[in-house]
Structure 1
Amino acid sequence: MRVTIIYDNTSLRGDLIADWGFSALVEARGKRVLFDTGARGDILLENMEALGLDPRSIEEVFISHPHADHMGGLSDLLRIKPARVVVPRSSPAPGNAEVLRVAEPQEIHPGIYSTGELAGIEQSMAIDSGMGIVVISGCAHPGAGRILKVASGFGEVKGLIGGLHGFSDLDLLEDLDLICPAHCTRHISAILERFPDKSLAGGAGRVIEIAD
């Protein structure tokens, strides 16, 4: 399993553009799925080019929730590569693409799951990786605790990557082996300080690899 953060508020490389939003390429279980598309298509595509990622290789787009900083780049991407778009049930979706609307927790590919739409707005992705379930969150509007609880229905959760907003109950992260707070997470410093041996700061250009 490999996760490459393409779009984030910060950048780890000088050739990548930082901007408010989130997008990551998830390569797992034989699939290449783009999780969210950031706020601007031009930045998304420029960062993909700098990272050596071909947008035409994207097989599917998974949208966590319908805020502009998470799906603003979708139309530009779909003009280059039509792909199925997986959205929460109540989310608007492009009319020129195959759309899968997700209401309840479900498997969308073997070993790749959606938590379903939580709190009437957001879904997270869960992947059965070599280390257990790894959750990828856009903003965690429903609450990170609720997301982790739902994801635990797919297996033991061992990793959490992405935006967590104001999440501060760090005790919930004790049993994880990997934590990568990104995007809107307010308490990134506190997470990194408490879990120095198993946490990584996010940022465009961050690559996380998990061996099977």
Structure 2
Amino acid sequence: MQQISLAPVDGVHITTLMDNSSDALLPDEGLVRRFGLAGTAAPLPVIPAELAEEKQNFDFLRAEHGFSAMVEVAGRRILFDAGITAEGVAGNLDRLAIRPETFESIVFSHGHFDHVMGLNGLAARLGPTHLPILLHPDFWLRRRFVSPDRTLELPTPSRSAIEGAGFTVIEGRQPSFLLDSAILVTGEVDRTTPFETGMDGHEAFRDGAWQPDRAIHDDQAVVLHVRDKGLVILTGCGHSGIINIIRYAKRLTGVDRLYAVLGGLHLRDGAVVSETVAALAEEAPAVLVPAHCTSWKAQHALAAALPGAFRPNAVGSRFEL
């Protein structure tokens, strides 16, 4: 594999715009600033409330089963994933006083609906802007989950609808850069570990038939290199396997030091949790923020194995790395 040159940056801010939890009582913690009653990331907005003496009430960020984050480097912004509902990320941007027209591009980690369909709300807000969207070609596949007792077909993103809304789609399997080579989009991640074997029961419609799709090859991550600190890796679901992603990012960039891992890790249960936790402890990130599709059991295992690095996530958390 030929190494690529990822420009080091002096710092990056990553703000959680959507996740599975919202906690207004989480305090600031070192490099983490929180939104809410105890944090200082943003002032609390107010909304009308007829039943209050003052006729107003505090408004708080919404959580949903989905993921979205804003990545800021030297005052420039990209959006990573868009959550699940039209009002979710769009509403949280309003509560955080972030204007969606300040995003220079959107990166989708993969094509699952809980990372994509919130684009509806942004499209309505932005209008036809020709904002570039970076994604893997498998993003458009029809998909479903098959278990012994049910089959659930997932909502499928529509290329014609997304382009018709005014976005510019950029497809690629290979790594690519954003913001003058400050941000690396991994493209398709090499699968090399024996224990990160994908998702049971996940299928895709290819060549006129439903076929197993454990690997979910369109899963990609965003990588930055913070000067004198190491790599920062942001995932959506981590279907590629977080250890695969870390090792791939190191091989791509030639940077061996890992600074931070943030985002969904898709760790649920079974041997993959203990093996991933052990491998991640060996990688020794200074900051670890498991989010979205990381189970309660996996969260506790990660917190126990990396107590100094572990930080809980919540909507509105801003990680100043």
Structure 1 length as normaliser, TM-score?
A: 0.92
Confirm or deny: 8 A CA contact 1:102 1:114 kept in the other structure.
no
Measure how far apart 1:30 and its partner are.
4.7
- What is the aligned-residue RMSD (CA, Å)? 1.7
Which of the numbers 37, 40, 47 marks the counterpart of 2:82?
37
Matched to 1:172, the amino acid is A
Secondary structure at 2:139 match in 1: coil
Number of the residue aligned with 2:305 = 194
Number of the residue aligned with 1:142 = 240
Name the % identity.
Answer: 29
Secondary structure at 2:177 match in 1: strand
Distance change (3 Å), C-alpha of 1:77 and 1:116: same
Number of the residue aligned with 2:61 = 16
Matched to 1:85, the amino acid is I
Measure how far apart 1:2 and its partner are.
0.3
Size of the aligned set, in residue pairs, is 210
Confirm or deny: 8 A CA contact 1:33 1:60 kept in the other structure.
yes
Number of the residue aligned with 1:164 = 265
Number of the residue aligned with 1:54 = 99
42-51 vs 112-121, which deviates more?
112-121
1:112 aligns with 2:209: no
| Structure 1 Cα separation of the partners of residues 299 and 66 of structure 2 | 16
Secondary structure at 2:72 match in 1: strand
Distance change (3 Å), C-alpha of 1:89 and 1:129: farther
| Structure 1 Cα separation of the partners of residues 124 and 13 of structure 2 | 25
1:6 aligns with 2:113: no
Matched to 1:129, the amino acid is V
Matched to 1:170, the amino acid is V
Number of the residue aligned with 2:48 = none
Distance change (3 Å), C-alpha of 1:164 and 1:123: same
| Structure 1 Cα separation of the partners of residues 74 and 111 of structure 2 | 26
| Structure 1 Cα separation of the partners of residues 139 and 318 of structure 2 | 29
Measure how far apart 1:36 and its partner are.
0.2
Confirm or deny: 8 A CA contact 2:85 2:120 kept in the other structure.
no
Measure how far apart 1:172 and its partner are.
2.5
Structure 2 gaps of 5+ residues are: 1-11, 25-35, 37-59, 141-158, 190-214
Confirm or deny: 8 A CA contact 1:32 1:59 kept in the other structure.
yes
Distance change (3 Å), C-alpha of 1:61 and 1:149: same
1:126 aligns with 2:171: no
Measure how far apart 1:102 and its partner are.
2.1
Measure how far apart 1:74 and its partner are.
1.1
Secondary structure at 1:34 match in 2: strand
1:176 aligns with 2:187: no
Measure how far apart 1:44 and its partner are.
0.9
Number of the residue aligned with 2:138 = 90
| Structure 1 Cα separation of the partners of residues 303 and 172 of structure 2 | 33
Measure how far apart 1:29 and its partner are.
4.9
Number of the residue aligned with 2:145 = none
Which entry has the higher C-alpha Rg, 1 or 2? 2
Q: How does 1:61-76 map to 2 (within 5 A)?
A: 61-76=106-121
